[in-house]
Amino acid sequence: MKIKQFGYLSDPKNGQKLTLQIFKKDSDEIIDGLLLNKNSWYPVIGGIPRMLLAQSKVEFLQRKRIFLKKYRNRLSKKIINEWDLAVKDVKNISSFEKHQQKTADSFAYEWKNIYQENNFEKNNFYHFLSPFIKEDDIKDKVTVDIGCGSGRFTKWAALASARMAFGTDLGDSVEVAYNMTKGFENVGIIQADIYSMPFNEKIDLAYSIGVLHHLPQPKQGFLNLIKMLKEKGKILIWVYSRRHNIRALYFYEPLRAVCRHISKPVLFKLCYIPASIVHLWNLFCKAFKFKNMPFSYYENFSFNMKLNDSFDVLATPKSNYYYSEEIEGWFKDASLKGIKSFEHPEAGITCIGTNDSD
């Protein structure tokens, strides 16, 4: 976390201002510290603000006891007591929280163990943003990549000269994103929940690519994002399309219902089967110059990307599919203006709207 990024953050619980305590830094990079106010506190660990609430925070504190041990003499009695209590806490969590954590864990495994950068990520990024956002539209803007995973799309926003490109995720994939982007002065990675984002009203462009359709309450997650937009700020999402998506609805989903119960390391190995089939099919179609065939979207992608997407499809607890009219309805319910949607041939929907009170 860079010191200059602090001004964009607020308490995810109530939007109040936070103060910053620095325990360790490297130049202007805050490695360890605290963000806090009278009622709330959030640790900065390993360069990443961990702005979690409720059970997500409890489980995180349980995993990061080394921070408590290292800085115990610099923490208030209130924080120490809350952390000690979290370590002892083994209470049952709600089905909503279980779904959230399972989804976060699935993607964290994917990004930490499977994903490899490839030469087509820039095209992939602007494909998902198309036809509404181009590279020049990002220049000098403050952006947030919601559900950033590995940080691959956060990185491309930074390379498009965003004034500040934030990436957020609920799970431990933020570690991957931080390592991918830590060389950029205009990138900040935040661990946060999509239902309680920690940004004040300074965001020019928020985008969420391939994330909302996996949530337990997708529409509510979307509606909670609007409050961080500045006046005239835009939000763009990409979600699975239901229209003409027979392959996903009647093949992927029944298969997912079985596969999501398989351990992640075993499922990862099994995903070599569909990834290999698609890869060989792409090579066959390319050799004979067949166009617009099934899975042609993957024609120029590496085998690893096909493996990554196979795991993505089969490992997550749930996927939802939508008609563009339904997604536009979300934007209308959020009182957004200039709403536009586009249905991509590979069965995805890009939709954009503007926070305009006029």
Q: What is the pLDDT of residues 28-53, one digit of tens each?
A: 999 999 999 999 999 999 999 999 99
Question: Do the Cβ atoms of 96 and 158 come closer than 8 Å?
Answer: no
Q: Please tell me whether residues 176 and 324 are part of one structural domain.
A: yes
How many CB atoms sit inside 10 A of residue 102's CB? 18
Please tell me the predicted confidence (pLDDT) of residue 93. Answer: 53
Domain count, the chain: 2
Say if residue 11 is in the same domain as residue 155.
no
Q: Are residues 63 and 44 in the same domain?
A: yes
CA distance 126 to 131: 8
Q: Which of 91, 118, 148 is the C-terminal boundary of a domain?
A: 91
Residues 197 and 69 in one domain: no
pLDDT digits (tens, 9 = 90+) for 217-249: 999 999 999 999 999 999 999 999 999 999 999
Give the model confidence (pLDDT) of 90-116 as tens digits: 554 556 556 566 665 665 576 566 667
> Within this chain, do residues 147 and 31 fall inside the same structural domain, yes or no?
no
Q: Which domain holds residue 260?
A: 97-358
> 335 and 193 in one domain?
yes
Residues 49, 103, single domain; the answer is no
Same domain, yes or no: 256 and 355: yes
* Same domain, residue pair 61 and 119: no
Residues 265 and 345 in one domain: yes
Instruction: Name every residue whose Cβ is closer than 8 Å to that of residue 202 and which is 6 or more positions away in sequence.
Output: 7, 8, 142, 228, 230
**pTM for this structure?**
0.90
Same domain, 178 and 228: yes
